[in-house]
Structure 1
Amino acid sequence: METVIVEWFKRLPDWAFVASSGIFLILLGIITYFVALGVKRFSDAAGQENRLVNLQEEHIKLVTENSKFISSTAQLQTVLINSRSFVNSLNKLMSDTDPDFSHFYLIQRIIEGIASDVKANGGERHRCGFWLEDQDKGVLYLSNGSAGFPESYIENRHLDINNSIAGRCFRKKQTINLPDVTLDTDWSPTDSSGSYKALICIPVGSWGVITIDAKEPMEENAKLIGDFYAEILEGIFNDYLNRMQEGTVNQIASELE
């Protein structure tokens, strides 16, 4: 059979080979065209699918950002409502000619308010403390603490002014926001509970420092809220100091009469 085919090809005229080659090239061109057309259609379909995936990802991103924006707006609205109550209480104290010196009760309310208001999400856990300076010992001691602090810590917990993160905040009068306190050179294991890793420290004039502890890094809003409440706390202490000085002056005047 193989011999017959070879003999048949030998007997074909030259024009037959030329015609066969032409037909083969035409068929090859047609096949190539349809293959290229199929590849183009597949590429277009894949491009449309990729664009759809990109649009879906962009949609998810926008929905997430919008959710954060709504949450942030609600958080700031809560802060404004709560702070109005604190400012009204401070104004009442400052205008009262015979106050009962309930400044420290108002401070405790504000510390509890900060621990609650800095939460961007309901499931987050924070605690807030206010540390006053003890000049004689060179330390900051915990004057007020939110529910996250054990009761035994109040007035018994101390931070060295020269060797702690809160102390650095107090010395430099600068707010500090740390996503992970364990990476800071001024941190030691005795400074805070191991379950709280993020920390914001905010100076309150020359009086002390607000600390905000969290399980996870905090948003910029938390720092801004802390800064805002620190201004109110400073006003409370300044009013208290003025009243103490007035009381001293009045006492001296009465003794001289």
Structure 2
Amino acid sequence: TFLVSSWMPFCLQNCFNPWWHRFNKVLDTFLREFEIINCPIKLFFTIDTSETIALQESPPGSLVESIKDFTRMFAQQLATEKYMGQIQIIWSIGGLHFSQTQVTFSDITTRENFIRNLVRIKYLGKGTYIDCALKNMTYQMTHYLAKKDAVLFAVIITDGHVTGSPCGGIKMMADKARDQGIHVFSVAASRNIDEIGMREIAGSPTELIQHNPGYPGPRGNPGRRGPRVRRTNICRSFLQKPEFLY
């Protein structure tokens, strides 16, 4: 009896414990494979409503309305969902529009609130300072976020044309945004673009995704042209990181 009772603790310590340790490691690996990872994504739209955009279609400002339609359709596709069954994507969206000045039409909020706030966008006119808009966007995305682990995306909708660069130029401000961890996308607002400006926003390397720039407006007006959302899920575009859309 003494031999048995003395042997049992020894067996438990030297036989069972290593097995239990190995079992725990296998169990932990198994659970990690099925663990749902939260992925908060902050998306910020920066929309050009300057004179070069607003006067491209008649009456003045009609192209701005088309861009608002595009932005609304874009945002509607960004549903909170599981990606590949393991990553819980949680979207928050905000935006500003700009010419020589910038106006925040929506703080970073839910998709539904953002869509409601789109009505605040009005044609600003005057000149186009894209660099200052990028600077403002970067500030808002990095100074008003409670969660530092969020993935940051910025969509710049413009034609790439500028009338001045008082904030250091497009390339400098776009690079500073990327230095802050912001993935910057450029979307052409029309066919009449400055491709150098668009590429400076998107950075390098760039991936080109063509969008048919003509589509009927909300009233079925065939003359109204602007960016068009593809029928495929635009979330895939973000996850595959194409950074130059036009």
Q: How does the TM-score come out when normalised to structure 1?
A: 0.35
Larger helix percent: 1
Per the normalisation by structure 2, the TM-score is 0.36
Name the larger-Rg structure: 1
- Bigger share in strand: 2
